[in-house]
Amino acid sequence: MRKTYAGSCHCGAVRFECDLDFAAGTSRCNCSVCAKGRFWKAIVQADAFRLKQGADALVDYTFGSRSIHHLFCRNCGIKPFGRGRLDEIGDFVAINVACLDDATPEELAQAPVRFQDGRNGAWDSPPAEIRHL
């Protein structure tokens, strides 16, 4: 069921809302930036995301093709979301589900997780090893 969740970085400078359905799935990726940040995400369309506060606190980190914007709080260093555009889904926001303040432990525990082999550019398939992600 699609619900509206409130999220924030650690210090609270950055606050957002998003509409998402955990049953639609979450994902973890082994690419260089997701692996180091232990990023657990839920992808939503850009119009299902609302930045409520803290645009001025966000630092935009990009690398490689610079097509994905990895946004983190300049004060506390937490990455509450990233955003970008892909041909398949258009403008999207990758929500850090660990930053959702009102998602219950049960909702998080029951959310399906899809593993992605981003390290090899194969986001549609899982890597050979997923236990470390």
Name the site residues for Zn ion (rule: CB under 5 A). 9, 11, 13, 73, 75-76
Rounded Cα distance between 112 and 131, Å, is: 15
Smaller CB distance to Zn ion: residue 15 or 28? 15
- Indicate if the alpha-carbon torsion angle 13, 26, 67, 86 is positive or negative: negative
Residue matched to tokens 């980190």: 61
Taking the complex as a whole, the smallest distance from the CB of residue 34 to Zn ion amounts, in Å, to 20
Rounded Cα distance between 15 and 3, Å, is: 17
Taking the complex as a whole, the smallest distance from the CB of residue 8 to Zn ion amounts, in Å, to 8
Smaller CB distance to Zn ion: residue 78 or 130? 78
Taking the complex as a whole, the smallest distance from the CB of residue 71 to Zn ion amounts, in Å, to 11
Rounded Cα distance between 133 and 129, Å, is: 8
Smaller CB distance to Zn ion: residue 11 or 113? 11
